Amino acid sequence: MVELLGVSRSATTTGATEQLGRPGRGRRGREELKSAVLAAHQASDGVNGAPRITADLRAAGQAVNRKTVANVMAELQIQGVSGGILIELVDEGLARFQASARDGDVGAHPAESTGGLGTEP
């Protein structure tokens, strides 16, 4: 029948599976990968990107490609924090801390109130 219609066997089985409302193996695997990538990303507090998540998934025994993980992350609209952005966030937090210490806010670091030496004035 397949030869008569001129279609491949995989096309007929995929179509039949989808008509029954069940996802095929490829789609089922992709959904599982999406949930694994999302879980790994959330476990890293949104810091890890595709290379690190790929390494984590491989360490867990899942065979996966970095580009596939990157594509899944793009579909989920998530991304890791790059080094430059992380440095900016740290610098911004340090600037806020220094401003609060200068203003005499409670909770300032003891080294800030002694000129950074860590000893009494």
Instruction: Tell me the pLDDT of the chain averaged across its residues.
Output: 76
Q: Is it the case that residue 107 has pLDDT exceeding 60?
A: no
- Give me the residue spans of the domains in the chain: 25-104
What is residue 94's predicted lDDT score, i.e. its pLDDT?
76
pLDDT per residue as tens digits for the range 47-91: 899 999 999 999 999 999 999 999 999 999 999 887 666 667 677
What is residue 61's predicted lDDT score, i.e. its pLDDT?
93
What is residue 92's predicted lDDT score, i.e. its pLDDT?
76
What is each CA distance from 83 to 23, 47, 54, in whole angstroms?
Answer: 39, 10, 18
